[in-house]
Structure 1
């Protein structure tokens, strides 16, 4: 989805498409870190 949004922005120059690209990019970066934290909690439970 990220690549498609970027390609549409390159072809159109539409600012809304760029903002959508940045929003998707940010969400993509946020998700793995929360999953890593959850996995760390499973590996090292707090007693």
Structure 2
């Protein structure tokens, strides 16, 4: 998700996208396992 938001920001220069990127980055730093959980859920969605 970080890569996507950074690419959108770098192509558009939209400050809102940059702020979203920083928020996601901060969230990931506080909970590094969240990304692994998100990826696992994407592969095997809970029903």
What TM-score does the superposition give when structure 2 sets the normalisation length? 0.66
Larger radius of gyration: 1
Structure (1/2) with the larger helix percentage: 1
List, as ranges, runs of 4+ consecutive aligned residues in structure 1 with deviation greater than 2 Å. none
Q: Which runs of 5+ in 1 are unaligned?
A: 33-47
Q: How large is the Cα RMSD of the aligned pairs?
A: 0.6
Aligned residues: 32
What TM-score does the superposition give when structure 1 sets the normalisation length? 0.66
Q: Which runs of 5+ in 2 are unaligned?
A: 33-47
